[in-house]
Amino acid sequence: MGNKNEKKNKKSSYMHDVLERFLSHKLAVVGLGLIILLIILVIVLPPLLELDPYTSHAQGGFNQKPSAAHWLGTDRTGRDIFARLVYGGRISLVVGILSTIVSMVIGIPLGLLAGYYRGWVETIIMRLADIFMSFPSMMLILVLVAVMGPSVISITVVLGILGWTQFARLIHSRVLSVREKEYVESAKAIGTKNWKIITKYILPNSFAPCLITMTFRTASSILMEASLSFLGMGVQPPTASWGNLMYDAQSIVVLSKQPWTWIPPGLCLVITVLSINFFGDGLRDALDPKMKI
């Protein structure tokens, strides 16, 4: 009994330290607050304000200026831009988060395999990671999207597949350091099975850095999706995303005469990515003060 309590106390004091370190990082707290606010807004606003991002409000004319009825005006087909901004936020966040999960699902097992079994498995996986990392992912993404056809799903999958290297490398290096530890050696000595060593010792030890990499990867996926959609090779209209809302601004007329159409999505992107990065920074300092990325 006493032992169990002690363990519990130790665990809660670790969490307490982490929380304390995180809360002392003011920008990280602000970042987390903004992320939560943003998620709530994109979920709650559409039903609350009865936003409709698809119907054309042609009676007031296309390309309307901001008004009480349309806070950010309407686009060239008469759709309400504020509604599209909110719905676009949903898509941008979902693509960012889902593609990161895809990256983890691919990268973590590969990193584990490479680190644990070594030999030719390691050589193949890590060389493959080098190949992926030495090449401009933007180019590969463009080629892949051209092949698969641009859609929300294909963008998510492509960004997810190309993000595996970060997780594989991270887990690989973690495994290499953990597998030399005495407790793993002793577990091996008493005949513990490989998968049990992996799930019991190696994965829990890699959780913190994985979480941190996850936040930064989500931020960069959001940016990549936006770039692709801006080029017209990402999320396709009528579905809105922050990137494709800015597609029209490639024409100098829209750019110069209707700044209210492209500045808000741009600002949303900057604020979102900035918040996620601040949050990730705070998380890193809190979970693992020695770690560097």
Partner 1 sequence: MKLKYVGKRILIIIPTFIGITILAYFLSSMSPGDPIDMIVGPSQLSAEDIARLRHSYGLDQPVIIQYFHWFARMLQGNFGISYRTAEPVLGMILSRIGPTLLITITSVVVSVLLAIPMGVGAAVKPYSLWDYISSGISFLAAAAPNFFVGLLLVYIFGVSLKILPVSGMYTTASSKSFGDLVRHMILPVAVLAFQQIGNLIRQVRGSMLEVLQEDYIRTAREKGLKEGRIVIRHGLRNALIPVVTTIGMNLPFIVGGAVVTEQIFGWPGIGTLMVQSIHARDYPCIMGITVFIAIVVLIGNLITDLVYGLLDPRISYK
Output the six-digit token pair for 105: 């699902």
Tell me whether residue 156 or residue 261 sits nearer to partner 1 (CB atom). 261
Tell me whether residue 51 or residue 233 sits nearer to partner 1 (CB atom). 233
Segment interacting with partner 1 (CB under 8 A) among 35-43, 59-67, 186-194, 224-232: 224-232
Interacting residue with partner 1 among 136, 182, 190, 289 (CB under 8 A): 136
Using CB under 8 A as the binding rule, whether residue 164 contacts partner 1 is answered as: no
Tell me whether residue 34 or residue 94 sits nearer to partner 1 (CB atom). 34
Interacting residue with partner 1 among 131, 185, 204, 291 (CB under 8 A): 131
Nearest approach, Cβ of 155 to partner 1 (angstroms)? 14
Interacting residue with partner 1 among 1, 48, 68, 139 (CB under 8 A): 139
Residues in contact with 13: Cβ distance below 8 Å, sequence separation at least 6, in sequence order:
none
- φ/ψ of 202, rounded to 5, equals -80, -45
Using CB under 8 A as the binding rule, whether residue 34 contacts partner 1 is answered as: no
Interacting residue with partner 1 among 117, 135, 183, 207 (CB under 8 A): 135
CA distances to 33, 86, 93, 202, 241 from 40, in Å:
11, 11, 12, 35, 17
Using CB under 8 A as the binding rule, whether residue 166 contacts partner 1 is answered as: no
Binding mask 143-162 for partner 1 (x = CB under 8 A): xx-xx-x-------------
* Residue in the structure block whose two tokens are 């793993």: 184
Binding mask 242-271 for partner 1 (x = CB under 8 A): -x--x--xx-x--xx--x--xx--x--xx-
Nearest approach, Cβ of 58 to partner 1 (angstroms)? 27
Provide the 3-class DSSP secondary structure of residue 74: strand
Tell me whether residue 204 or residue 259 sits nearer to partner 1 (CB atom). 259
Give the single-character DSSP code of 80. Answer: B
Instruction: Determine the Cα–Cα distance for residues 178 and 292; give it in Å rounded to an integer.
Output: 17
Instruction: Determine the Cα–Cα distance for residues 266 and 243; give it in Å rounded to an integer.
Output: 8
CA distances to 2, 51, 96, 111, 249 from 242, in Å:
55, 16, 12, 33, 12
Output the six-digit token pair for 154: 């294909």
Residues in contact with 220: Cβ distance below 8 Å, sequence separation at least 6, in sequence order:
none
The interface with partner 1 within residues 10-29 (CB under 8 A) comprises: none
DSSP H helices, the chain, are 2-23, 26-49, 81-117, 119-133, 137-148, 152-162, 164-178, 182-189, 194-197, 203-230, 242-245, 252-257, 259-287
CA distances to 34, 97, 133, 179, 213 from 137, in Å:
29, 18, 8, 32, 18
Using CB under 8 A as the binding rule, whether residue 125 contacts partner 1 is answered as: no
Using CB under 8 A as the binding rule, whether residue 128 contacts partner 1 is answered as: yes
CA atoms within 13 A on the CB side of 43: 7
Using CB under 8 A as the binding rule, whether residue 3 contacts partner 1 is answered as: no
The interface with partner 1 within residues 204-223 (CB under 8 A) comprises: 219, 223
| Chain positions contacting partner 1, by CB under 8 A | 127-128, 130-131, 133-140, 142-144, 146-147, 149, 219, 223, 226-227, 230-233, 243, 246, 249-250, 252, 255-256, 259, 262-263, 266, 269-270, 273-274, 277-278, 292
